[in-house]
Amino acid sequence: MDQTLLQKDIWHDELWENPWDLAGVIVIGLFIATVLFFILFAITFGLLFPVDSTEGDQQ
């Protein structure tokens, strides 16, 4: 049982030692953060500055 725990620790350490794997995690995290920021930005400015409807738009 100790051997399987040791192997899991080695795999975890190897993941973070490889700079390409670490860069991939960073890129994916930045992409997700950017998408969430854009959604928050759209919601915020959509609520703060609603589009005024005119009578011509209703027809």
- What pLDDT, on a 0 to 100 scale, did the predictor assign at position 53? 64
pLDDT at 58 over 80: no
pLDDT, average across residues 2-27: 69
CA angle (10, 4, 22) in 5-degree steps: 25
Whole-prediction pTM value?
0.56
What confidence category does residue 32 fall into, taking pLDDT thresholds of 50, 70 and 90? very high
Per-residue pLDDT tens digits for 15-31: 667 777 788 889 999 99
Q: How far apart are CA 47 and CA 20, in angstroms?
A: 41
Chain-wide mean pLDDT for the chain?
76
